[in-house]
Amino acid sequence: MIDESLQYSTIERLAAANNDAAQDLVLEVEGLTVSFPGLFKTVKAVRGIDLQVRRGEILGLVGESGSGKSLTAMSCLGLMPEAARLEGSVRVAGQQVNGASASQLAVLRGGGAAMIFQNPMKALNPFFTVGRQMFDVIGCHRQLSKAQIRAEALSSLEAVSMPDPPLALAKYPHQMSGGQLQRVVIAMALACRPKLLIADEPTTALDVTVQAQIIALLRKLAREQDLAILFITHNLGVVASLCDRVAVMYAGEVVESGPVGQVFKRPAHPYTLKLMGTVPKLGQGPQPLGFIPGQVPNMAAPPAGCAFNPRCERATGRCHQAAPRVAIGKEHWAACHNMIVKV
């Protein structure tokens, strides 16, 4: 006979654990679809993707150019053009983004979520000092005095390891290096105390040494400030050294997702394996440069079933009908009938 008190205590513990897991979620994307209607055709840029990012976690979103990575990021902040048609649900820190009013989105951007872009020079106004721009952003999102705003700007620059923060505030963007500008943009985002940081290929324009510094900085921020980070890139090396989990996108869909170690060690989807094969391997002598044959599909008329089937050597008849989500390990799944690994 089961002791009822033990039974109910177990149920309560499970309920509490599920509640804690739900509270840890900062970004929840469910069935997100982004399309652009035209006169003769509709471009289906993002097609029913699901993503989750927890506090203190870094999720890498990878894929070829045109796979829908940046559109997914823009959707998380409600930055889509009026012509775009969004379906599904996007929640940031518990707030629904789809359908939110302009005033609600203004509060969300900066306070709930912030974004850093690939080219920091274009993100900053060349006619104003770094300090002026940081003060304006902080003052817009937080009710602080001028002295407190300046102190917060200095503190944020110190948090990103900017040398001589007071001098940095007095400089114009053109007086700083690419690495310094990227630190400024990150500091500006952090000064508003966001729960989610979206980084859209922030290391692409930087040299390898500065890339390593930015990667180490983002890992430190995620760990120390419990910051959730959505990191968008096409660089698998950066994902391997920075991210906790990875989601692989192709033709507007997530085709594989899981912990970085599992996905890179045991890639299941043929596209993931092909993508990893395009990365040159150092120390192995002369070798042909890998590539994926074929072309990215026309998103106005994507292939039926798995979008990768026209380029896939393992494709069979059922691949033209559907692309099932098959579980491989803990939080690791792939949308493929003929996976590389054995389940």
Percent above pLDDT 70 for the chain: 92
Residues 82-106: tens digit of each pLDDT:
888 999 999 998 889 888 888 888 8
Residues 109-123: tens digit of each pLDDT:
877 888 888 777 888
Which of 329, 267, 273, 338 lies closest to 306, judged by CA?
A: 338
Percent above pLDDT 90 for the chain: 40
Residues 288-336: tens digit of each pLDDT:
878 888 888 888 888 889 999 999 988 888 999 888 889 998 889 999 9
Asked if pLDDT for residue 12 goes beyond 70, the answer is: no
**Domain boundaries in the chain?**
120-194
Q: What is the average per-residue pLDDT within 49-54?
A: 94
Terminal alpha carbon distance of the chain: 38
**CA 116, CA 121: separation in Å to the nearest integer?**
11
> 152 and 138 in contact (C-beta within 8 Å)?
yes
User: Which of 283 and 216 is assigned the larger pLDDT?
Assistant: 216
Asked if pLDDT for residue 247 goes beyond 90, the answer is: yes
**CA 292, CA 75: separation in Å to the nearest integer?**
28
What does the angle CA 61 – CA 66 – CA 69 come to, to the nearest 5 degrees?
A: 25
- For the ranges 74-78, 142-146, 279-283, 331-335, the lowest mean pLDDT is seen at 279-283
- One-letter amino acid for residue 333 of the chain: W
> 246 and 62 in contact (C-beta within 8 Å)?
yes
Q: What is the average per-residue pLDDT within 126-151?
A: 90
Asked if pLDDT for residue 23 goes beyond 80, the answer is: no
**CA 312, CA 274: separation in Å to the nearest integer?**
9
CA dihedral 141, 145, 150, 155 (to 10 degrees): -70
Asked if pLDDT for residue 235 goes beyond 70, the answer is: yes
Asked if pLDDT for residue 18 goes beyond 50, the answer is: no
The 10 Å Cβ neighbour count of residue 1 is 3
pTM of the model: 0.86
Asked if pLDDT for residue 343 goes beyond 80, the answer is: no
> 184 and 176 in contact (C-beta within 8 Å)?
yes
Pairing of strands 245-250, 58-62: parallel
Q: What is the DSSP string of 160-194?
A: TT-SSHHHHHHS-GGGS-HHHHHHHHHHHHHTT--
The whole-number pLDDT of residue 7 equals 47
At 44, is the secondary structure helix, strand, or coil? Answer: strand
